[in-house]
Amino acid sequence: MKRFALAGNPNCGKTTLFNSLTGSTAHVGNWPGVTVDKRDGVYKKTPEPVAIVDLPGIYSLSPYTPEEVIARNYILDEKPDCVINIVDATNLERNLYLTTQILEIDVPMVIALNMMDEVEKAGDKIDAELLSSRLGVPVVKISALKENGLKDLMETAYAASLKERVGTTVLEESSLAHLIGDVRIALKGQGVKGPLFHAIKLVENDSIEVEMHKETIPMIDEFKATHEDDVFGDDFEALVADARYKYISEYFAPALSKKKQEKFSMSRSDKADKVLTHKVWGIPIFLVILFAIFHLTFSEDFLYLGAIFKLPTLEDLGLLTEDADPLHYGVRLLACIYDGAVFSPGVIINNIWNNMLVGELFGRLGGLVEGSSMAPWAVGLINNGIFDGISSVLSFLPPILVLFLFFSILEDSGYMARIAFILDRMFRRFGLSGRAFMPMIMGFGCSVPAMINTRTLADDKERTATVRVIPFFSCGAKLPILTAVAGAIVAYFGVGNADVITFLMYLLGIVTAVVTVLLMRNTTLKGETPPFIMELPAYHAPQFKNLMAHLWDKTKHFVKKAFTIILASTIVIWFLTHFSFNWHFLEDEAINESILAGVSQLVQPIFTPLGFGSQLGQFGWVFVVAAVAGLIAKENVIATFATLASCLVAMANLNIGGLDIAAEEGIDAVQAMILATGISVPALIAFIAFNMTTIPCFAAVGTAKAELGDKKRFNGTLIFWITSSYAVAAMIYTIGSWWWTAFIWAAVAAAATALVVLKNKRAAKTVKAV
Amino acid sequence: MEKTLDAFEIGDVGTVKRVGGEGKIKRRLFDMGITPGAEVLMRKRAPLGDPIEITIRGYELTLRKTEAACVTMEVKG
């Protein structure tokens, strides 16, 4: 099958064209070795089907970014049958800069002049024939959005692919022509294929080419020595870039005739931008948009209608009673949408998906399994191990998709680039760019989409650092742990205020993230703050089709990547909680005899500095078990609290008074655990802090693994999570128990800071000396 | 009059004279169209004062002041 590659600038409509051409055959993966999206699909309307490969969006074929290296290696090494270069007709000059570089490779090429509809709407004209005769390759006018000219484009590309093409260059007419010609002849003599491209890159001092043609460099340097230039001196990289743009403005600019002659006119997009990035209002507007996204996704009181109008709950209405028929679908559906308040769209989708569809399906399947004649352990394995694993993967889908939808809208509309613009100043201090903000803030919703979205970050180290701290932005599923433990502290010890404790814990997460990012960027993930030279694309309304294609990609990606790891780990944890050391199957209530409880008792001393270790006596292991259960999904911690509490009551003959252990919020269960273990307030706070900052749920771990790619980095990330949670929890416990230890911690922190600063200074000095 | 791009006031127009800076940053500036002779309009500063936004070759580009300092401009009167 023939292969056509799509190449072009970011924001030139490449993805739209790709989606229109390939439709349902599209397939998204990663390029080998790097987490840059690799899309391929099939176009069927040419005489024979053609495979379409979407190369990453790039501005140039320089050796500096992974995207550019991928695109260039693909065209050079994989030799596609034709390169379709998409050029945004509304931004001709900069787009043609890449064109002049691809032109130099020996590969058939066709130019797709995209967004012609917008050019025509503005009353401008482009002379495609003039362009085509200058470039020596066919130029086809299209509108990827309106699907105009696609057939023509593909037929032209197919015809082009039948003939060979030898690279040409616009540098022929520059002062460099002679030098390039000499190098090309030398390379040709050595039998190098496609000598023109390599010759130009060698003249540019391109690091990849220099590495490849080491032995030829002295000769090239000799050639270069004879070339003199008064403006650039011996800066050949600058000379080449300058010559390209000079040629473009001289010969291609006439192809565009503009209706309005002003150079810097105000478009509609500019007017929108005036408000959205306003000096005073820019940041408040951004905060409102952010709040709206979270409100629409997670709020259980949409527009605060419930609170404002004091709406009745379903129980008040007499619809939901103790003995109501559980299979009454109408009421259940209503309960997904309304209960004393109208839920936000995100919550409604989540409820319908999890309570009605997935819950229903697995509930019924579980019932079938239970009704069968299988051994109890097999029933447990299938129901609590496998089914719970699968449904926990699936239960993540609604928040991921809804958050992604908003995220894609922000990205496609062009606003995301402005967020980076607004916030870059703040983030630079931590060695990150403004782009890192969105993934972090999304972490408050769910770590999984947040981690996937770190792809918008160009710098690898910045990405790793961001992925690592995302779980510290306490996600929706961690909130129940916070409220249960905070509620129990208030109820049992009668100190503090549950809301304040919860809020402070969120704050603690943010502080931990900031401190650890600073630490990483100065030690293990050291690197310069990545440059911030970025296009601000014109605003435009997001395309429904594109959004859906985007969502579908993410869903497939998540389910595929996260599935195995989540399922496997759920089964392992199930096994550890339901089997004793002598391989006896245990009921839920006998969790105290399980392997996990045994191991927890063994490792209990490790947690002594955190306050929930040996000092809690014989029942102290319950907190360790709850933390481990939280790895499956943080929601499990509460469920485990209930199981553990009932175990404790039976084992320790606790007099728990009026406590309702099975209550949903888990507050009473935690109180029973406090009663049995005698755990202190600082230790309880340390426990929630530990849960918040330690290894996140398996879904997030699986995503982190997929996104980091590199195995060493992933292992480092696991160690990072364990260490930081241990340190944070130990600090809280010790300072909370003995206030004067604050001085010790402060001294340690000061010493560590001084050490890092000194070491970096010395390293900087050695670099300078070299 | 010559000044570096980071010293531009909002609304200033000028042409690029020279581009300096470390290899990777300089190449990126070139690739984005900041080459000698290109016309630049200083559009705005971000709410926190940095980065800046310019119009060049018919599109909007944002860059930090430290990066803009690498670009020497000829200011138009």
Residue carrying structure tokens 């209530």: A589
Q: Please give the DSSP secondary-structure letter assigned to residue A61.
A: -
Q: Do A94 and B32 touch (CB under 8 A)?
A: yes
Q: For residue A641, what pLDDT is reported? A: 80
Residue of chain B nearest A280, judged by CA positions: B47
Residue A192 lies in domain: 171-257
**The domain spanning residue A61 has which CATH number?**
3.40.50.300
Q: Name every chain A residue with its beta carbon within 8 A of the beta carbon of B30.
A: 237-238, 241-242
Q: Is B47 on the interface with A (CB under 8 A)?
A: yes
Does one domain contain both A214 and A238? yes
Q: For residue A526, what pLDDT is reported? A: 82
Q: For residue A322, what pLDDT is reported? A: 59
Does one domain contain both A135 and A203? no
Does one domain contain both A95 and A214? no
Burial of A751 (0-12, 13-18, 19+ CB in 10 A): exposed
Does one domain contain both A29 and A103? yes
Does one domain contain both A178 and A144? no
Rg of chain B (C-alpha set): 11
Average pLDDT estimate for A202-215 = 88
Q: Please give the DSSP secondary-structure letter assigned to residue A341.
A: S
Does one domain contain both A116 and A131? yes
Q: Is B19 on the interface with A (CB under 8 A)?
A: yes
Q: Do B39 and A263 touch (CB under 8 A)?
A: yes
Q: Is pLDDT above 80 for A663? A: no
Q: Name every chain B residue with its beta carbon within 8 A of the beta carbon of A282.
A: 46-47
With cut-offs at 50, 70 and 90, classify the pLDDT of residue A271.
confident
Q: For residue A238, what pLDDT is reported? A: 86
Residue-wise pLDDT tens digits, B26-63: 999 999 999 988 999 999 999 998 899 999 998 999 99
Mean pLDDT of chain B: 91
Domain residues of chain B, as ranges?
Answer: 2-75
Does one domain contain both A219 and A334? no
User: Looking at the 3D structure of chain A, how many domains does it have?
Assistant: 3
Q: Please give the DSSP secondary-structure letter assigned to residue A454.
A: G
The tokens for A741 are 């230890």
Residue-wise pLDDT tens digits, A709-764: 788 999 999 999 999 999 999 999 999 999 999 999 999 999 998 998 888 888 87
Residue A251 lies in a domain: yes
CA distance A710 to chain B (A): 25
Residue A248 lies in a domain: yes
Q: What is the DSSP string of A196-223?
A: HHHHHHHHTT-HHHHHHTGGGHHHHHHH
Which of B33, B57, B62 is closest, CB to CB, to A421? B62
Q: Is B69 on the interface with A (CB under 8 A)?
A: no
The terminus-to-terminus CA distance of chain A in angstroms comes to 53
Using an 8 Å CB-CB cutoff, list residues of chain A that contact chain B: 59-60, 62, 64, 90-94, 97, 231, 237-238, 241-242, 245-246, 249, 263-264, 273, 277-280, 282-283, 417, 421-426, 428, 531-538
**Sign of the alpha-carbon torsion through A300, A302, A304, A308:** negative
Residue carrying structure tokens 């105000």: A266
Residue of chain A nearest B50, judged by CA positions: A425
The residues pairing with A245 across neighbouring beta strands, listed in sequence order, are: none
- Asked which of A342, A372, A399 is the last residue of a domain, the reply is A342
Q: Do A536 and B67 touch (CB under 8 A)?
A: no
Q: What is the DSSP string of B2-68?
A: EEEGGGPPTT-EEEEEEE-S-HHHHHHHHHTT--TT-EEEEEEE-TTS-SEEEEETTEEEEE-HHHH
Average pLDDT estimate for A235-249 = 89
Q: Is B26 on the interface with A (CB under 8 A)?
A: yes
To 10 degrees, the CA torsion angle through B38, B39, B45, B49?
A: 50
CA distance A529 to chain B (A): 11
CA distance A41 to chain B (A): 30
Calculate the CA A369 to chain-centre distance: 38
Distance CA A531, CA A459 (A): 9
Burial of A455 (0-12, 13-18, 19+ CB in 10 A): middle
The residue count of chain A comes to 770
Give backbone dihedrals phi and psi of A83, rounded to 5 degrees, phi first.
Answer: -105, 125
Which of B35, B36, B61 is closest, CB to CB, to A536? B61
The tokens for A746 are 């402060």
Q: For residue B60, what pLDDT is reported? A: 92
Residue type, A762: R
Q: Is pLDDT above 80 for A471? A: yes
Distance CA A692, CA A622 (A): 17
With cut-offs at 50, 70 and 90, classify the pLDDT of residue A666.
confident
> What class does CATH assign to B2-75?
mainly beta
Q: Do A425 and B48 touch (CB under 8 A)?
A: yes
Q: Name every chain A residue with its beta carbon within 8 A of the beta carbon of B27.
A: 60, 62, 64, 237, 241
Q: Is pLDDT above 60 for A770? A: no
The terminus-to-terminus CA distance of chain B in angstroms comes to 8
Does one domain contain both A71 and A189? no
Give the ranges where A531-666 is alpha helix by DSSP (H). 544-578, 595-603, 621-629, 635-652
Residue A338 lies in a domain: yes
Distance CA A446, CA A635 (A): 13
Q: Do B50 and A424 touch (CB under 8 A)?
A: yes
Classified as helix, coil or strand, A125 is: strand
Q: For residue A728, what pLDDT is reported? A: 94
Residue type, A593: E
Higher per-residue pLDDT: A266 or B68: B68
Mean pLDDT of chain A: 86
Mutating which of A259, A534, A540 best tests the B interface, going by the most B Cβ atoms within 10 A?
Answer: A534
With cut-offs at 50, 70 and 90, classify the pLDDT of residue A261.
low
Q: Name every chain A residue with its beta carbon within 8 A of the beta carbon of B49.
A: 425
**Sign of the alpha-carbon torsion through A17, A21, A23, A26:** negative
Does one domain contain both A6 and A126? yes
pTM of the model: 0.84
Does one domain contain both A198 and A53? no
Which of A60, A283, A417 is closest, CB to CB, to B31? A60
Does one domain contain both A189 and A245? yes
Residue A698 and residue A635 in contact, taking contact as beta carbons nearer than 8 Å: no
- Asked which of A257, A278, A309 is the last residue of a domain, the reply is A257
With cut-offs at 50, 70 and 90, classify the pLDDT of residue A71.
very high
Q: Is B23 on the interface with A (CB under 8 A)?
A: yes
Q: Do A536 and B45 touch (CB under 8 A)?
A: no
**Sign of the alpha-carbon torsion through A684, A690, A693, A695:** negative
Q: How open is the CA angle A464-A470-A476, to the nearest 5 degrees?
A: 155
Residue A273 and residue A320 in contact, taking contact as beta carbons nearer than 8 Å: no
With cut-offs at 50, 70 and 90, classify the pLDDT of residue A767.
low
- β-pairing, A37-43 vs A27-30, is antiparallel
Which of A238, A249, A535 is closest, CB to CB, to B61? A535
Residue of chain A nearest B58, judged by CA positions: A91
Q: Do A279 and B19 touch (CB under 8 A)?
A: no
Query: Which of A655, A654, A603 lies closest to A628 in space, CA to CA?
Result: A603
Does one domain contain both A27 and A66? yes
Q: For residue A194, what pLDDT is reported? A: 87
Residue-wise pLDDT tens digits, A339-385: 888 999 988 998 899 888 888 898 899 999 988 888 888 888 888 77
